[in-house]
Amino acid sequence: MKILITGGGGFLGQKLAAALSANPMIAGKPVTSLTLADLAAPAPMDAPFRVECVAADIGDAAAVNQLFTDAPDVIYHLAAVVSGAAEADFDLGMRVNLGGTMNILEAARQAGNVPIMVFASSVAAHGGEAPEVVTDGVELNPQSSYGTQKVIGEKLLQDYSRKGFVDGRGVRLPTVTIRPGVANAAASSFMSSIFRDTMQGESANCPVTRDFKVWHSAPRTIIANLLLAAEVPAEAFGFNRCINLPGRTDTIGDMIEAMTSVIGPEAESRITWQGDPAVEAVVGGWRAEFVPEKALGMGFIADRSFEDTVRWFVEDDIVNK
Amino acid sequence: MKILITGGGGFLGQKLAAALSANPMIAGKPVTSLTLADLAAPAPMDAPFRVECVAADIGDAAAVNQLFTDAPDVIYHLAAVVSGAAEADFDLGMRVNLGGTMNILEAARQAGNVPIMVFASSVAAHGGEAPEVVTDGVELNPQSSYGTQKVIGEKLLQDYSRKGFVDGRGVRLPTVTIRPGVANAAASSFMSSIFRDTMQGESANCPVTRDFKVWHSAPRTIIANLLLAAEVPAEAFGFNRCINLPGRTDTIGDMIEAMTSVIGPEAESRITWQGDPAVEAVVGGWRAEFVPEKALGMGFIADRSFEDTVRWFVEDDIVNK
């Protein structure tokens, strides 16, 4: 199986590549090659299969077509301009998040081999007039340009699948916490930094109050679900190829307590509490409580505790500074 | 108020233009000019304001920008490749229904005057895993490329409105019955032709059975609702700028009986009953029962009977052959 990962230089792309390298099978077949594409070419990696690391702007149709000269069997479309950046620069978000997804769908269609395409959608698809507790089947009501662009990607993936152009699987990711690396322009960036940065010895600001609820999932769990998304039979999705992934609902306060219970009180003491109305306006529009029955029935999983998330961060990602 | 109607040569565009000519006010202000744009330039019309009839392919961004050189205050975006045609020619539907809507939204944004934009969406937005009775707030589950493209137009309209680029109002039209003119490539074409053509002395085929339910609205009612859509205050929409318009649910059999009760049995005798699985596959995926509470609360209206629809067709549209 030839795999293509867009956003292959991002932390999810890198973790997914590492998981495929450790267990080079997908949908019951061996992985024979992997292309990691990102704006800047991802760093080379060792793997039991050929790995190509490519610089490609998915907003450029010609660059995307290049990625399909040797047509992939499985596409992980993870590349996106994050929520805060897509809100600040509308044209950039439209070009990459909408135009880029259209370019990839069209290249996949033209390839003619009906590839499996896993599309990372987002919790940001929900909000507005959606009910406080999001069950499957409520109207998608994004409150941001990022969420809108993700929803449109879902609808296109759905129609390209219905037409038999791709075998699409859209998964709405909860907020991925604890995200490794450095803070980014995602409005949800603080949901990782108040844990990651403080455990790594730095301060981090929390722009919302302790009782703010987050719908979240650990990177390990997201990777397991992304792998499963390519492996479940298409029929398991039924008509609708896009689903809410499982996650956990916890308050920021409960998550901080969990961190403290695992690694002691020092990290928590490095959190500052400065409100930020701009951040709150975006993340406050997201939903924090979900009943993702369809995904659970298909075998997708959630974390059992935020303590697990903290332990996994220490095992997998912590950078001692 | 300067008005632009895309699809201005279509029957709804023409009826809307006539209604504005008869009562040249919109949103409490006088209509000062009207541009009717369509693939072929619409025929000139008399009106108490300046009317410009323009040939423009909305799939062509430059042609759309031309329509905005004198920025309109109100845009009625009615132009679309109909359902059957968008299903048969995927690229054409994407270019006109998605690309065209994107071109218009972008031209409206660049104009900078935050125009009112009424977007004709469709009952085809619903289907699939949507419940049999569609209430407000269920996930949009289009079963056709046309429906998908309309839903994407809604999501863009919503985000362009949220960003303050346009003052968007998306209305999901029930099947418009009895549509004047000639049969077209819409999968729902028969829902008009079995009444229109038979009343005009010709035969027409019904590809579904008498118990097939239709969610429908008469042209007069659609025009009243399109006018209202530009006039209700933006706040009345709340967050979500796209709504299910009211309509009526009747079986084909009941509609035929209503026709016969108004004009006698001759027309009915001209209906042939040849099943068509391709048509049934598309229209069978649409929903026929709705509870459009939000639209009713905002003052949008439905027909009181299909007998009214038949009488209005005879008064407004019948062509004696």
Residue B8 domain boundaries: 2-174+217-244
Catalytic status, residue A146? yes
Looking at the predicted structure, is the pLDDT value of residue A292 above 90?
A: yes
Distance from chain centroid for Cα B46: 24
Do B159 and A145 lie within an 8 Å CB cutoff? yes
Looking at the predicted structure, is the pLDDT value of residue A321 above 70?
A: no
- Domain membership of residue A108 (yes or no) is yes
Rounded to the nearest angstrom, the minimum Cα separation between A300 and chain B is 20
Q: How far apart are CA B136 and CA A48, in angstroms?
A: 52
Q: Which of B242, B252, B181 is nearest to B215 (CA)?
A: B252
Question: What's the sign of the alpha-carbon dihedral B164, B166, B171, B175?
Answer: negative
Q: How far apart are CA B46 and CA B50, in angstroms?
A: 9
Catalytic residue among B76, B119, B146, B286: B146
- Domain membership of residue A15 (yes or no) is yes
SS3 A252: helix
Do B240 and A162 lie within an 8 Å CB cutoff? no
pLDDT score recorded for residue A83? 86
DSSP type of residue A43: P
Do B240 and A138 lie within an 8 Å CB cutoff? no
pLDDT score recorded for residue B89? 97
pLDDT score recorded for residue B111? 98
Task: Give contacts of A122 with chain B, Cβ < 8 Å.
Answer: none
Looking at the predicted structure, is the pLDDT value of residue A150 above 90?
A: yes
Closest Cα in chain B to A147: B159
If you average pLDDT over residues A21-37, what whole number do you get? 96
- Domain membership of residue A268 (yes or no) is no
| Nearest beta carbon to residue B139 from set A138, A156, A162 | A138
CATH number of the domain enclosing B107: 3.40.50.720
Do B140 and A139 lie within an 8 Å CB cutoff? yes
Do A151 and B155 lie within an 8 Å CB cutoff? yes
Give tens-digit pLDDT for A253-288: 999 999 999 999 999 999 999 999 988 888 888 889
Task: Give contacts of B131 with chain A, Cβ < 8 Å.
Answer: 137
- Domain membership of residue B156 (yes or no) is yes
- Chain A with chain B: Cβ pairs closer than 8 A: 67
Under the banding of pLDDT at 50, 70 and 90, the label for residue B284 is confident
* CA B194 to each of CA B123, B206, B217, B313, B317: distance values in angstroms, whole numbers, following the listed order: 20, 6, 16, 13, 15
Give tens-digit pLDDT for A207-261: 999 999 999 999 999 999 999 999 999 999 988 999 999 999 999 999 999 999 9
Q: What is the ipTM of this complex?
A: 0.94
pLDDT score recorded for residue B320? 81
- Domain membership of residue A182 (yes or no) is no
- Domain membership of residue B8 (yes or no) is yes
Closest Cα in chain B to A127: B239
For B281, how many CA atoms within 13 A lie in the half-sphere containing its CB?
Answer: 7
Do A240 and B128 lie within an 8 Å CB cutoff? yes
Give tens-digit pLDDT for B194-225: 999 999 999 999 999 999 999 999 999 999 99
Q: Which of A113, A137, A60 is nearest to A291 (CA)?
A: A137
Give tens-digit pLDDT for B73-101: 999 999 999 988 999 999 999 999 999 99
Rounded to the nearest angstrom, the minimum Cα separation between A129 and chain B is 7
pLDDT score recorded for residue A289? 95
| Nearest beta carbon to residue A163 from set B90, B140, B239 | B90
Question: Considering its fold, how many domains does chain A have in total?
Answer: 1
pLDDT score recorded for residue A131? 87
Do A142 and B159 lie within an 8 Å CB cutoff? yes
Is residue A217 within 8 Å of A303, Cβ to Cβ? yes
Q: Which helix (H) or strand (E) holds B313?
A: helix B306-316
Looking at the predicted structure, is the pLDDT value of residue A309 above 80?
A: yes
Task: Give contacts of B151 with chain A, Cβ < 8 Å.
Answer: 155
- Domain membership of residue A257 (yes or no) is no
| Prediction pTM value | 0.95
Interface of A with B in 124-143 (CB under 8 A): 128-131, 137-143
Closest Cα in chain B to A145: B159
The β-bridge relationship of strands B242-244 and B50-55 is unpaired
Q: Which of B299, B113, B123, B155 is nearest to B241 (CA)?
A: B155
Give tens-digit pLDDT for A85-115: 999 999 999 999 999 999 999 999 999 999 9
Under the banding of pLDDT at 50, 70 and 90, the label for residue B321 is low
- Domain membership of residue A64 (yes or no) is yes
